[in-house]
Amino acid sequence: MAMWLGIISVLPELIDAARSGGVFARALEAGSLQLQTFNPRDFAKDKHRTIDDRPYGGGAGMVMMTAPLVSALEAARAAAPDTPKVVLMDPQGEVFQQATAVQESQTGSLIIVCGRYEGLDQRFVDHYVDERWSIGDYVLSGGELAALVVCDAIARHIPGTLGNSLSIIDESHLDGTLDYPHYTRPVDTAEGSVPDVLLSGDHQRIFEYRRREALQRTFHQRPDMLIRRVFSDADRKLLTACFAASKEQQNTTKKQ
């Protein structure tokens, strides 16, 4: 059964751009993913298709009205093949993680609401939104770009989307570490050579090299990802070596 995504947005053309290429488009083409957009303007009652108004209490900007959003949501729910979770893309929400992408790829349907202007009437959020997701601590002009990031991350984990299933297994963040470095032909370039271990044909050595590089990258670039993790004996040895090498480098720098 294909996963179904419903996107509520006043700018559906931004969402539809994802149909033109890449992993997401491939999933749609293969039929493993279905996408529908729902524009609140189509449910507005006045001739101007008004979907926003001034905020009570004053302040800058406009606020998206509840009624058009509710109508768009009802239409999305009616189109969904089963009961969908309703998610709002919101900078105040929980940070979207790789584990969430994997989990959601196994569900039947999902509705994503994209805010605009100064935000949504809080009554809509309180009564209809199940979860709020953020893609980082910054503000965008609307939720559409954030929704596309989420959709692409989810689509990668739908069976048949990627040509090589190993691509998912080796991705950054999937096991809580960053990815290892990659090399391709030619072996030698003006910028350097491919590490000998990758040319050895020894799969165990290659695995150990890649694991060590992944842990080192994570230790130096995103040490927060290593907190509260349970490591294997092999990983602990590699991390101990990372600590030792880092300390030695610091001592060398101090002497200089």
Give 111's strand partners.
6, 86
Task: Give the pLDDT confidence score for residue 229 in this predicted structure.
Answer: 75
| Alpha carbon separation from 98 to 71, 105, 209 (Å, rounded) | 31, 11, 24
Longest dimension (CA), the chain: 75
Cα–Cα distance, 114 to 153 (Å, whole number): 17
Task: Give the pLDDT confidence score for residue 244 in this predicted structure.
Answer: 81
Cα–Cα distance, 142 to 119 (Å, whole number): 9
Q: How confident is the model at residue 160 (pLDDT cuts 50, 70, 90)?
A: low
Identify whether residues 47 and 141 lie together within a single domain.
Answer: yes
User: Residue 198's domain spans which residues?
Assistant: 188-255
Cα–Cα distance, 40 to 38 (Å, whole number): 6
Identify whether residues 131 and 18 lie together within a single domain.
Answer: yes
Identify whether residues 13 and 68 lie together within a single domain.
Answer: yes
Give the closest residue to 121 by CA, choosing from 85, 68, 71, 44: 68
Neighbours of 219 (CB within 10 A): 19
CATH code: domain of residue 54: 3.40.1280.10
Give the closest residue to 77 by CA, choosing from 103, 51, 109: 109
The answer to whether residue 175 is domain-embedded is no
With 80 as the cut, is the pLDDT of residue 162 above it?
A: no
Q: Quote the number of domains for the chain.
A: 2
pTM of the model: 0.79
Phi, psi for 118 (deg, rounded to 5): -85, -5
With 70 as the cut, is the pLDDT of residue 94 above it?
A: yes
Give the closest residue to 86 by CA, choosing from 104, 99, 68, 98: 104
